[in-house]
Chains A and B, each alone.
Chain A
């Protein structure tokens, strides 16, 4: 594994995490999640212990993808944000760097206006961090798995799917 590359990813990741925690604090959100377009969690802030994260991430990505296609059908390029209003909690979803989904889950005490302002501010920073990561991913090979990894993973697969 290329340690330098990994450290550099970790630095960007740390900045992203801090940014999310700040957003969560400032909006008094229950939690904030960053999800990729394929429905996999990148990272989160806030107490997500009661949340079924894989299901949430998958549905958010599917929701966003379905809505983008709806936009397309009416001649819009994209709906950049989605808002689902509930009685006790609501969800505000927006797209970062055209690749990553930011979902903020907030209680009724927080106003939508505040969420909009804070998300806009956080998005600008997050976008920068992600663009750094994407540039690195494109320009450098980052080795993660070797023969030993594959051998061990295959043996785990054999015992899991018996």
Chain B
């Protein structure tokens, strides 16, 4: 949960990028790192394998600055998408405030998206939490590739709650900030 520290006047919010392996979660966070003013962000930390696949998580702290006397920080995490790493994926969800679900638009990855969403629900349930109660936005990534599922179909299967969603080509920075902004705002509103 967002940790509001009344004495140091800080609000920390944890946003987790979730989704199937090789879907572009790390690409999102790397793009954010490259574009956010260095004064407003910390170090990008990646715990990955030798082949650059996320092993544990990526972490990027972003500072919103001072709002009404409170310093607001967003801590962005990615999880390892590969099915094999579920134990570490589950750990990162601890205390999550908001989720950006990065879906892979390619036809051959369609089932992986659904499986990852189901896995998200299962992992949250181990912390006695329900996905429907957590702010979330969806990014349909890799829209530049030729062999992709239509947005209508993706929406039908991945977004029945009609949450904020957008098309993206994360590698070019298209559609990267929009889902982050949407979920961050929702997290702030939930602080009430």
Measuring CB to CB, which residues of chain A are less than 8 angstroms from any residue of chain B? 6, 9-10, 13-14, 17, 36-40, 42-43, 52, 54-55, 58-59, 61-62, 65-66, 69, 142-146, 148-150, 152-154, 156-158, 160-162
- Asked whether any CB of chain A lies closer than 8 Å to the CB of B75, the reply is yes
B3 within 8 A of A: yes
Min distance, Cβ B57 to any Cβ of chain A, angstroms: 7
* Given A38-B94, A40-B75, A160-B36, A144 contacting B11 (CB threshold 8 A): yes
Q: A55-B42, A148-B68, A160-B36 are in contact. Are A66 and B8 (CB under 8 A)?
A: no
Q: Does B56 contact A (CB under 8 A)?
A: yes
**How long is the Cα–Cα vector from A36 to B13 in the complex, in angstroms?**
12
B181 touches A161 (CB 8 A): yes
Question: Would A160 and B64 count as touching, CB distance under 8 A?
Answer: yes
Overall SS of chain A's interface: helix
Partner pick for A38 among B32, B36, B95, CB 8 A cutoff: B95
Please provide the chain B residues from 42 to 94 with a CB less than 8 Å away from any CB of chain A in the complex. Answer: 42-43, 45, 47, 56-57, 59, 61-62, 64-65, 67-68, 70, 72, 75, 87-88, 91-92, 94
Can you give 12 A-B contacts (C-beta < 8 A)? Answer: A10-B7, A39-B95, A40-B95, A65-B91, A65-B94, A66-B88, A146-B192, A153-B67, A153-B72, A157-B188, A160-B64, A161-B177
When C-beta atoms are compared, the residue in chain B nearest to A5 turns out to be B6
